[in-house]
Structure 1
Amino acid sequence: MLAPAQRPATTVNEEALHHYRSIWISDVHLGTAGCQADYLLDFLKQNDSDHLYLVGDIIDGWALRRAWYWNQQHNDVIQKILRKARKGTRVVYIAGNHDEVVRQFIGLAFGGIDIQDEVVHTTADGRRFLVLHGDLFDGVIQCARWLAIVGDHAYTLTLKLNRGFNHLRARLGLGYWSLSQFLKHKVKKAVNFVSQFEEAVAREAKARGLDGVICGHIHKAEMRDIDGVLYCNDGDWVESLTALVETMEGELKIVTWQQLGHADGRSGARPSPVPAVEDSPA
C-alpha cells in the first residue's frame, strides 16, 4: 500500500455548516437516475473534513454498461470532491462491487485521491476501524453474480416507482420517503440478510484486533455494538441520504440529509443527526 502523498492543511470552507475530522459516504451510484446527486452536492458544499472516505459504489459501472446516464449534477459531485482534494482534504476512494473496475488501480492516486481496497482509520480518541465497502462479505455477490445482477434490475425498477411517488410527495410539501427501504424492512429474508452481513463484517474486524468497522454496500445506515465491535454503516445516497461523520473529538455520528432549503433562505440542506452510539468501545 502506497503512503498518501503529503498534503497541505485543509482549507476550511467558510460557507460550510460543519467541519468534521472525517466523513464517510458510500453507495452514491453516480450514473443512475436513482442517484440523489443534488442532495449529496449540498452535503459536500456545507460540510468539510480533514479526511473524506468514498466507501465504494460511488460510480455505478454496472448501470453505465447497460445504458449511459450522466447529468450535470453528477459531474458537479465529482468536481466538488476533486476540489476538496486540491484544498487539502485527504480523499480515499475504496472500491465496491458496482465500481469494481477501480480495483485495478489500488495503491495509486489520481487527482489527489488515493485508491484503496480497504484501510484502517484511527479516530481522534485512538480507536481503530477497518474501512471497506463490504461486498466481499455478501454471499450473493461472491457465489451467484448473475442473481446479484437480476436483483440490481429489480432494485432499479423499484427506484423508478419511488421517484414518481416522491415527485408527488414533493408537490404536496412532504419530505423524501424510500419505498425500497420500506420493502427491505418488511421482507423477513432481507432483514435476515442484513443481520448476517453486519455480523460477518464485525467478526472480520474483531479477528484483526480492531475496535470497529465502517462499511456500506447494503444501503442501511446503522451504528451498533456487535460482540464488542462497533459496527458502522454509512448508508447511501439513493435511498437513505446518510453519511457517517467523526467529530474533532473522535465521536462518530450518522447524519441524514433529507430536506433541500434552509429556513434562513440560504441554499443547501439541513442535517438531521441521528444520535451517536453512547457506549463506544474503549
Structure 2
Amino acid sequence: MQPDPAPDSARQLRAIWISDVHLGTSGCRADHLLDFLRCHESEYLYLVGDIVDGWQLKKSWYWKQSHNDVVQKVLRKARKGTKVIYVPGNHDEAARQYAGLDFGGIAIRQEAEHHTADGKRLLILHGDEFDGVIQYAKWLAYVGDSLYTLILELNRGFNWARLKLGLPYWSLSQYLKHKVKNAVNFISNFETILAGEARRRGFDGVVCGHIHKAEVRDIDGILYGNSGDWVESLSALVEHPDGRLEVLYWTQMGQPAAALQAQTAQADHKETTCAS
C-alpha cells in the first residue's frame, strides 16, 4: 500500500459519500478509489451501500490487493477521527444484520441522517428499498446483475480495440442505461420516489446510491443527491465546508482522461497523483 499524501496536500471536505464500489468484482476500480481517498480528507465519510459485492463473491472468489487496500484505508481514516458511517445496500445486505453496531470505528446503520453546514437535514440510504425489482422480483435483479457483469467484460475488450485505433473510451452499459427509454424512465422514477420519501419524512433532501448515476439536483424543493459508482463513472458526492454539495469525478480530477481510458481498457494499475 502506497504512503498517503501529507495532510496539507489532501483536499479538505466536510463530508464524502461513496457507493457502489463492488469490491470483489473485476469491474471494481479499487485502485482509483484508493487514490481518491488518499487525496481527500473529510469529517464524515458515508459508505452508501454495495461497497462489497456479496452476490458475485458467492459465485466465485475475486479479491485483489487493491481491494484490501481500500478496506485498510477506510479503517485508517476511522482511526484518525473521520466519522465513518456504513449503510449497506442490496449487494452487501448481509451487513444489515449488524445495523446499530460499531466495528473498528465504523458505524453500521440501516439508514443515517446528515446535517449540512448550511442547515439542511438529509436522509442517507442506499435506495434499493424503493426498487420494485429488488423488492418483488429479486430473481430478475440477479439476472440483470449477471447481464451487467457480462456487458462490462464485453466493454473492456471493445475499448481495448478502440484504444488501439486511437478512439476514445465509450461505455456500453452507460449507453444502455441512459439512452434506452425504459432505463431512463426507471432512473427518473427512482429519483422522484426517493425525493418524495424524504419530503414525507420531513427531510430537506436525500442522498442515495444504487442506480450508478451520480447526480445533485432539486426535485420539487427537495435536494436529491446520488453518489454514483466506482465501476465506471468513478464518482463521489461531497459536501464543501459551506454546505454546498457537488459530484466529483475522479476521471476529471486525478489524471488526464486518455491515461485513465488506457488504464481501464488494459486493466493497468498505475499511480495516480493528487489533484491540487
TM score, norm. by length of structure 2:
0.88
Higher strand share: 1
| 2:243 aligned with 1:268 | no
Secondary structure of 1:14's counterpart equals helix
Structure 2 partner of 1:100 = 93
SS at match of 2:13: strand
The Cα of 1:76 is off from its aligned counterpart by 0.6
- Which of 187, 195, 202 is equivalent to 1:209? 202
Query: CA offsets, 1:103-160, max 9 Å, x none?
Result: 0000111111000011110000110010000000000000000000000000000011
5+ residue gaps, structure 2, are: 1-5, 257-269
Counterpart in the other structure of 1:162: 155
Q: Is the 8 A contact 2:39 2:275 kept in 1?
A: no
Distance 1:270 1:46, change over 3 A: closer
The C-alpha deviation readout for 1:190-229, integer Å capped at 9, x for no partner, is 0111011111110000001111000000000111111110
Larger fraction in helix: 2
Asked if structure 2 preserves the Cα contact closer than 8 Å seen for 1:258 and 1:269, the reply is no
User: 1:162 deviation in Å?
Assistant: 1.7
Relative distance call for 1:46 and 1:270 in structure 2 (3 A) is closer
Equivalent pair of 1:28/1:236 in contact (CA under 8 Å): yes
Using a 3 Å threshold, how does the CA distance of structure 1 residues 215 and 192 change in structure 2: closer, same or farther?
A: same
Structure 1 vs Structure 2 CA RMSD: 2.2
Query: Residue 43 of structure 1 contacts residue 269 of structure 1 at CA under 8 Å; is this kept in 2?
Result: no
- Among residues 106, 109, 112, which one is paired with 1:116 in the alignment? 109
**Letter paired with 2:204:** D
Aligned AA for 1:245? V
User: Does residue 1:69 correspond to 2:69, yes or no?
Assistant: no
Distance, in Å, in 2 between the alignment partners of 1:156 and 1:207 is 35
Among residues 218, 223, 240, which one is paired with 1:225 in the alignment?
Answer: 218
Superposition TM-score, scaled by structure 1 size: 0.86
2:172 — aligned with what? 179
Distance change (3 Å), C-alpha of 1:270 and 1:221? farther
Paired position in structure 1 for 2:7 = 13
- What secondary structure sits across from 2:90 in the alignment? coil
State how many pairs are aligned.
Answer: 259
**Change in 2 beyond 3 A, CA 1:30/1:176:** farther
Q: What's the CA shift string for 1:66-122, capped at 9, x where partnerless?
A: 000000011111111111111110000001000000000001111110000111100
Q: How does 1:53-92 map to 2 (within 5 A)?
A: 53-92=46-85
SS at match of 1:258: helix
Using the aligned pairs only, state the percent identity: 64
SS in 2 for 1:20: strand
- Give the distance between the partners of 2:243 and 2:157, measured in 1 at CA: 40
The one-letter code sitting in structure 2 at the alignment partner of 1:268 is T
CA distance in 2 between counterparts of 1:120 and 1:98 reads 22
Contact 2:117–2:242 (Cα < 8 Å) also in 1: yes
In structure 2, what is the Cα distance between the partners aligned to 1:242 and 1:177? 17
2:259 corresponds to 1:255: no
| Structure 2 equivalent of residue 27 of structure 1 | 20
Given residue 97 of structure 1, which amino acid in structure 2 is its aligned partner? N
What is the aligned counterpart of 2:189 among 177, 193, 196?
A: 196
Q: Do the aligned partners of residues 166 and 269 (structure 1) sit closer, same or farther apart at CA in structure 2, a change above 3 Å counting?
A: farther
TM superposition shift of 1:13: 2.3
Q: Distance in 2 between matches of 1:163 and 1:245?
A: 29
CA contact (8 A) 1:176 1:258 kept: no
Question: Which is further off, 235-244 or 157-166?
Answer: 157-166
Cα distance in 2 for residues equivalent to 1:261 and 1:174: 18
Matches of 1:129 and 1:194, distance apart in 2: 20
